[in-house]
């Protein structure tokens, strides 16, 4: 009996020693420098928290009303008074941000935090508040850069997110539910998450560190206090359920690429290869005599594009870009879309079972022709063909709404930027050429619109 107990004690001590060894390899060295100290993240957080800010926005949104109220006969018949200035309602939202450049006062956040905001207020941990101006934003990756006129700021250093591994400890810092700065911890649950339909370009870090509404734009840091990602979204079965341990952050390397362009151009000049692609299904893999489903098969090559100049052909299977293996078509699209314009890359392809490497110099996406509408109720909006860099390109046929001015008839009619109009008065449209005569020759319009993966009708007269 005594020997059995001693054996159990020996095994327990051995396990404890192993746990301490593993923990000491992952945690900061000063955690175990003094036996009298308890392990804590406080020293790291004391340095990191001042770089994470709270963001409050205010927007003035027009109130939607029945379009019949625009008809003078209708108003007279029902004795409805003349409409005055269109009514507006004020909306407010809360989010988070990360100080990116202390000298310049640059703050990173999500595009959806500041989108359409008329006022952006940044509050620091020391109690100071500043009105921010927008430097630039990229809705496709959900990254935005704002600037505040502040001194004595603390910025977070950016880590190399390509070095992250599943199982690494991470800490999320943000402003959930407007409670104020809050810290949660967890691990990296997965890497390279894409195809979720959250953003146009996706390469998310998945984490179980609690991320809730208001955390958007906040920091995901490693145990050295370096920024590894910008917290962006959570997965939830429905809106009534909060965090369930599945959160997503934009990797710091992607953030660095986007912010460099926002600083230089105020926008992202997205690179374009000039191909349409398709995932490799098991049936396609069998048809092409492939050993795996990794990569993307080329279904169309645009004439005069970078791919055309490089010699890419329909039926080629692109397996890697600059020696980075590709898993699917979305992976290829994300990789190309994050490159700098005029950058030369190596494309590894399979053509009829033969391995080839082609050199391609990616070009800037050519913006489609954008024109205002001749219909009075659509004035203030610009329309154009769906651009090649859009996630909807090749998937939806229609005309895209590129911009809508504040207080314009188009805004009060219910149009929003990035709406895709698929039909006018029940007639399908696939280009500006189809769209223009239909809106010019009809007083009343019934528009079928795709918005945020949903469809709706707008009746305009």
Residue 230, pLDDT > 90, answer: yes
Q: What is the CATH number of domain 50-147?
A: 2.40.10.10
Q: Which pLDDT value is given to residue 238?
A: 61
Q: How far apart are CA 392 and CA 322, in angstroms?
A: 26
Q: Which pLDDT value is given to residue 333?
A: 80
CATH for 161-265, among 3.90.650.10, 2.170.190.11, 3.20.20.70, 2.40.10.10? 2.40.10.10
Residue 137, pLDDT > 50, answer: yes
* Contacts for 285 with CB less than 8 Å, ≥ 6 apart: 291, 292, 293
Q: Which pLDDT value is given to residue 207?
A: 93
Percent of the chain, pLDDT > 70?
81
Whether the domain at 50-147 and the domain at 370-460 fall into the same CATH topology: no
pLDDT, greater one: 21 or 407: 407
Query: Is 142 annotated as catalytic?
Result: yes
* Contacts for 373 with CB less than 8 Å, ≥ 6 apart: 379, 381, 383, 410, 436, 439
Query: Is 60 annotated as catalytic?
Result: no
Confidence of residue 193 (pLDDT cuts 50, 70, 90): confident
Range 271-364: architecture per CATH: Roll (2.30)
Residue 86, pLDDT > 70, answer: no
pLDDT, greater one: 422 or 38: 422
Extract long-range pairs of 451-459: CB within 8 Å, 24+ residues apart.
451/416, 451/418, 451/419, 451/420, 453/197, 455/422, 458/413, 458/414, 458/415, 459/67
Q: How far apart are CA 251 and CA 231, in angstroms?
A: 9
- 388-444 tens-digit pLDDT: 666 676 678 888 888 888 778 888 888 888 889 999 988 998 888 888 888 887 888
Q: How far apart are CA 224 and CA 206, in angstroms?
A: 19
Q: How many CA atoms, within 13 angstroms, populate the side-chain half-sphere of residue 148?
A: 28
Which of 23-27, 222-226, 359-363, 408-412 is least confident?
Answer: 23-27
Q: How far apart are CA 65 and CA 75, in angstroms?
A: 13
CA angle 213, 95, 207 (to 5 degrees): 50
Residue 312, pLDDT > 60, answer: yes
Q: Which pLDDT value is given to residue 6?
A: 43
Query: Is 216 annotated as catalytic?
Result: yes
Catalytic residue among 112, 373, 389, 413: 112
The CATH homologous superfamily of the domain defined by 370-460: PDZ domain (2.30.42.10)
Task: Return the structure tokens found at 141.
Answer: 């990756």
Q: Is 436 helix (H, G, I), strand (E, B) or coil?
A: helix
Confidence of residue 18 (pLDDT cuts 50, 70, 90): very low
Task: Return the structure tokens found at 369.
Answer: 């022709």
End-to-end CA distance of the chain: 92
Contact 157, 286 (CB under 8 A): no
Contact 59, 116 (CB under 8 A): yes
Q: Which pLDDT value is given to residue 442?
A: 80
Inter-CA distances, 346 with 146, 283, 325, 356, Å: 35, 28, 12, 10
Catalytic residue among 216, 305, 327, 413: 216
How high is the mean pLDDT of the chain?
81
- 54-65 tens-digit pLDDT: 999 988 766 655
Residue 370, pLDDT > 80, answer: no
Q: Which pLDDT value is given to residue 249?
A: 93
Task: Return the structure tokens found at 229.
Answer: 């990602």
DSSP-derived secondary structure letter, 35: T
Catalytic residue among 142, 208, 385, 419: 142
Question: Where along the chain do its domains lie?
Answer: 50-147, 161-265, 271-364, 370-460
Which of 87-101, 136-150, 245-259, 383-397 is least confident?
Answer: 383-397
Q: Which pLDDT value is given to residue 63?
A: 60
- Total residues belonging to the chain: 461
């Amino acid at each position: 009996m005594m020997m059995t107990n001693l054996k159990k004690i020996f095994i327990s001590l051995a396990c404890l020693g192993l746990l301490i060894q593993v923990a000491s390899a992952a945690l900061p060295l000063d955690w175990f420098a003094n036996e009298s100290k308890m392990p804590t993240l406080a020293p790291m957080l004391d340095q990191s928290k001042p770089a994470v800010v709270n963001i409050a926005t205010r927007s003035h949104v027009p109130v939607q009303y029945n379009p019949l109220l625009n008809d003078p006969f209708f108003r007279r018949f029902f004795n409805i008074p003349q409409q005055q200035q269109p009514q507006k309602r004020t909306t407010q939202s809360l989010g988070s941000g990360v100080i990116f450049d202390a000298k310049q006062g640059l703050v990173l956040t999500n595009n959806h935090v500041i989108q359409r905001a008329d006022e952006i207020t940044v509050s620091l941990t020391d109690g100071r508040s500043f009105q921010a101006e927008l430097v630039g934003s990229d809705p496709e990756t959900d990254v935005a850069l704002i600037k505040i006129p502040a001194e004595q700021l603390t910025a977070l250093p950016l880590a190399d997110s390509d070095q992250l591994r599943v199982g690494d400890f991470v800490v999320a810092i943000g402003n959930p539910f407007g409670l104020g700065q809050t810290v949660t911890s967890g691990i990296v649950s997965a890497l390279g998450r894409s195809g979720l339909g959250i953003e146009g370009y996706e390469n998310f870090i998945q984490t179980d560190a609690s991320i809730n509404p208001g955390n958007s734009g906040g920091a995901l840091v490693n145990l050295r206090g370096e920024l590894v990602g910008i917290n962006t979204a959570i997965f939830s079965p429905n809106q009534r359920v909060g965090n369930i341990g599945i959160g997503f952050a934009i990797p710091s390397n992607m953030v660095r690429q986007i912010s460099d362009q926002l600083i230089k151009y105020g926008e992202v000049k997205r690179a374009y290869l000039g191909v349409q692609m398709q995932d490799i299904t098991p049936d396609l893999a069998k048809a092409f005599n492939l050993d795996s489903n990794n990569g993307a098969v080329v279904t169309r090559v645009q004439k005069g594009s970078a791919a055309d100049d490089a010699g890419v052909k329909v039926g080629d299977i692109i397996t890697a870009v600059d020696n980075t293996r590709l898993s699917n078509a979305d992976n290829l699209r994300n990789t190309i879309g994050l490159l700098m314009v005029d950058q030369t890359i190596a494309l590894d392809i399979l053509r009829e079972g033969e391995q080839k490497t082609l050199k391609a110099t990616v070009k800037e996406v050519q913006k489609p022709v954008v024109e205002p509408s001749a219909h009075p109720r659509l004035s203030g909006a610009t329309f154009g063909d769906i651009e090649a860099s859009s996630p909807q390109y090749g998937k939806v046929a229609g005309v895209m709404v590129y911009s809508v001015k504040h207080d314009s008839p188009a805004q009060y009619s219910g149009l929003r930027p990035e709406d895709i109009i698929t039909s006018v008065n029940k007639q399908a449209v696939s280009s500006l050429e189809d769209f223009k005569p239909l809106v010019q020759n009809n007083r009343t319009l019934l528009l079928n619109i795709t918005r945020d993966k949903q469809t709706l009708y707008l009746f305009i007269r």
